[in-house]
C-alpha cells in the first residue's frame, strides 16, 4: 500500500487523485489543501503551510508526495527539496529546476543556451524600456517574470492594451517585483505536450490542446481554461518525432548539462509555426484543464508509475494511453473571469452516466449539496472513438448538470482543428 499526498485543490488535482485512486496498486491518499469533492476519495492533510505539511508527511509516514500545482515547488525552501531532506520521494522538481516555470527569463535563457526553438524576446524593467522594445510592432506577447496565478501573460494586439498591461506590471507593480518579457508573437495552432521526466530519462504522454478564452470562437478575456481535448491522433505525421528531437530531448539534456535535477511532469506549451514547433513556456506540473482530458485516457497502474518515477525508475510500460479522443468541458460561474459568484447550487451531478466530473471551484453547502465556490466550477469529461463522438457525448452529458449563472463554451473540441 502506498501512502500518497497530493498538493493542490483544483480540477487537475481531482483528476490526479482519481487516477491514483483507480490504480490497481492499493493507495491511501491525502490531500493538501484539497476540496470537499477531493475529500470524498482522499483524507485531509492536517497542515497549513509548507513546514507543517512536511511535519505531517513525516508523522503520517507518507511514501510519496505529488505536486499537482506549482506554487509549493518554489515556496520557502521548495516542496521537493524539503521532501528530499525528509527522505520522501516527490513527483515534482526541486526549487532550482522549477525556475523553468517560475521565472520566464530563466526559461528563455535556458532555451537559448540549449538551442531549443522559441520566439525572440527582450527583458525590461521600466515602462520606457518596454515601449522601446515593442517598437510599435503588434501583436506582441508580454509576460511578467514570476508567478502571477495565470494572470501574468497578455497577448496585445494594439498599443492601448499593451500600455495598460505594462502599467499594471511595471507601473503599479500589481504582481510585485520582477522584469517584464517582451516576446515575439508566434502564430499557429497551440499544442500542450507533457513528459514524465526522471533524471536523464523521459516519456512523452498523450498531447492535448486547451481553450483559454471565455467565449466561443476564442473571443473574450483569457481564463484558466474553458476546456481541453486530448488524443494520440493529435501527433499527426512525424510531429511527435519532431517535437521529441527539437524540444523534449534537448530540454532533458539541458537539465542534465545545467545540473538541474528533475523528477515529475514537465509541460511544454508549444506553437506549431510554419518554421516548426516552437516553445512558448515550460510548466513544472501537468496542465489544467489538460490533465482532466488526458488522465481518463490512461490505463495501467498510474500510482505505481508515479511512485517508481519519484524514486528514479521511469516505467513507461506501467501505463498505456487509450485510442480515441477525450474532451473536457469546463463550466464557469457567473461573472467569470472578471469576478466569480459563489453559492449557486449545482444540480444533476448524480445524473451523469457516460462522463466524469472533476470539481474545481465547488464546496458542500449546509445541506450536503455541492455549490459554486470559484471561477471555474467543474469539468465534465467524455471519451469517444472519434473526436465528433466525444464532443457529442460531452455536450449531451453536460446538459444534465447546471447551476444559476453557468457559463460554458459550445465549441470545445470542434474549434482549432
Give the interface with ligand GLY as residue ranges (CB under 6 A): 210, 225, 283, 287-288, 290
3-class SS of residue 358? strand
| Residue, CB closest to ligand GLY | 287
Peptide bond into 375 cis (omega under 30): no
Instruction: Work out how close the CB of 100 gets to ligand GLY at its nearest, in angstroms, rounded to a whole number.
Output: 13
Instruction: Work out how close the CB of 414 gets to ligand GLY at its nearest, in angstroms, rounded to a whole number.
Output: 19
Of residues 180 and 208, the one with the C-beta less far from ligand GLY: 208
Q: d(Cα 236, Cα 38) in Å, to the nearest integer?
A: 36
Counting beta carbons within 10 angstroms of the beta carbon of residue 259, is it exposed (0 to 12), middle (13 to 18) or buried (19 or more)?
exposed
Can you say how many angstroms the Cα of residue 171 is from the centroid of all Cα atoms in its chain?
29
For residue 175, count other CB atoms closer than 10 A to its CB: 17
Of residues 287 and 361, the one with the C-beta less far from ligand GLY: 287
Closest among 14, 28, 48, 8 to 303, alpha carbons compared: 28
Instruction: Work out how close the CB of 228 gets to ligand GLY at its nearest, in angstroms, rounded to a whole number.
Output: 7
Of residues 8 and 94, the one with the C-beta less far from ligand GLY: 8
Measured at the alpha carbon of residue 334, what is the angle toward residues 333 and 339, in degrees to the nearest 5? 90
Instruction: Work out how close the CB of 34 gets to ligand GLY at its nearest, in angstroms, rounded to a whole number.
Output: 19
Q: In the numeric block, which cell numbers belong to residue 119?
A: 520566439
Of residues 42 and 153, the one with the C-beta less far from ligand GLY: 153
Instruction: Work out how close the CB of 350 gets to ligand GLY at its nearest, in angstroms, rounded to a whole number.
Output: 29
Of residues 286 and 370, the one with the C-beta less far from ligand GLY: 286
Of residues 30 and 325, the one with the C-beta less far from ligand GLY: 325
Of residues 210 and 397, the one with the C-beta less far from ligand GLY: 210
Beta bridge partners of 156: 140
> What residues have CB less than 8 Å from 129, skipping those under 6 apart?
none
Instruction: Work out how close the CB of 283 gets to ligand GLY at its nearest, in angstroms, rounded to a whole number.
Output: 5
Of residues 134 and 208, the one with the C-beta less far from ligand GLY: 208
Instruction: Work out how close the CB of 188 gets to ligand GLY at its nearest, in angstroms, rounded to a whole number.
Output: 17
Q: Where do runs of H (alpha helix) occur along 280-404? A: 290-294, 302-310, 387-398
Pairing assessment for the beta strands 276-283 and 263-273 based on DSSP bridges = antiparallel
Instruction: Work out how close the CB of 296 gets to ligand GLY at its nearest, in angstroms, rounded to a whole number.
Output: 16
**Residue 408 CA: distances (Å) to CA of 67, 230, 404:** 28, 19, 12
Q: d(Cα 77, Cα 86) in Å, to the nearest integer?
A: 13
Amino acid at each position: 500500500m502506498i501512502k500518497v499526498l497530493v498538493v493542490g485543490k483544483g480540477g487537475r488535482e481531482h483528476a490526479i487523485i482519481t487516477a491514483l485512486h483507480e490504480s490497481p496498486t492499493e493507495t491511501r491518499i491525502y490531500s493538501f489543501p484539497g476540496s470537499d469533492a477531493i475529500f470524498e476519495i482522499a483524507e485531509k492533510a492536517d497542515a497549513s503551510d509548507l513546514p507543517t505539511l512536511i511535519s505531517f508527511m513525516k508523522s503520517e509516514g507518507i511514501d510519496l508526495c505529488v505536486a499537482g500545482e506549482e506554487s509549493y515547488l518554489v515556496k520557502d525552501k521548495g516542496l521537493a527539496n524539503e521532501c528530499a531532506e525528509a527522505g520522501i520521494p516527490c513527483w515534482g522538481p526541486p526549487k532550482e529546476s522549477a525556475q523553468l516555470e517560475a521565472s520566464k527569463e530563466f526559461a528563455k535563457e535556458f532555451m537559448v543556451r540549449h538551442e531549443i526553438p522559441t520566439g525572440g524576446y527582450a527583458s525590461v524593467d521600466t515602462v520606457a524600456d518596454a515601449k522601446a522594445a515593442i517598437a510599435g510592432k503588434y501583436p506582441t506577447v508580454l509576460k511578467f517574470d514570476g508567478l502571477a496565478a495565470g494572470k501574468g501573460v497578455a497577448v496585445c494586439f494594439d498599443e492601448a492594451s499593451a500600455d495598460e498591461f505594462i502599467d499594471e506590471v511595471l507601473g503599479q507593480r500589481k504582481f510585485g517585483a520582477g522584469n517584464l518579457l517582451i516576446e515575439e508573437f508566434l502564430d499557429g495552432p497551440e499544442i500542450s505536450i507533457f513528459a514524465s521526466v526522471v533524471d536523464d530519462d523521459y516519456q512523452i504522454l498523450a498531447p492535448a490542446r486547451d481553450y483559454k478564452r471565455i467565449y466561443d470562437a476564442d473571443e473574450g478575456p483569457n481564463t484558466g481554461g474553458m476546456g481541453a481535448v486530448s488524443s494520440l491522433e493529435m501527433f499527426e505525421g512525424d510531429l511527435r518525432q519532431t517535437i521529441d528531437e527539437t524540444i523534449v530531448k534537448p530540454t532533458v539534456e539541458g537539465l542534465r548539462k545545467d545540473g538541474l535535477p528533475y523528477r515529475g511532469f514537465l509541460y511544454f506549451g508549444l506553437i506549431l509555426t510554419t518554421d516548426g514547433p516552437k516553445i512558448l513556456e515550460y510548466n513544472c506540473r501537468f496542465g489544467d484543464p489538460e490533465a482532466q482530458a488526458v488522465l481518463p485516457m490512461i490505463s495501467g497502474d498510474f500510482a505505481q508509475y508515479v511512485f517508481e518515477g519519484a524514486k528514479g525508475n521511469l516505467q513507461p510500460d506501467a501505463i498505456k494511453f487509450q485510442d480515441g479522443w477525450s474532451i473536457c468541458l469546463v463550466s464557469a460561474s457567473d461573472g467569470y473571469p472578471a469576478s466569480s459568484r459563489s453559492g449557486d447550487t449545482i444540480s444533476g451531478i448524480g445524473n451523469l452516466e457516460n462522463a466524469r466530473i472533476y470539481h474545481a471551484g465547488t464546496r458542500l453547502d449546509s445541506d450536503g449539496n455541492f455549490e459554486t465556490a470559484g471561477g471555474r466550477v467543474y469539468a465534465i469529461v467524455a471519451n469517444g472513438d472519434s473526436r465528433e463522438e466525444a464532443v457529442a457525448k460531452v455536450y449531451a452529458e453536460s446538459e444534465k448538470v447546471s447551476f444559476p449563472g453557468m457559463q460554458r463554451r459550445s465549441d470545445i473540441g470542434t474549434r482549432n482543428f
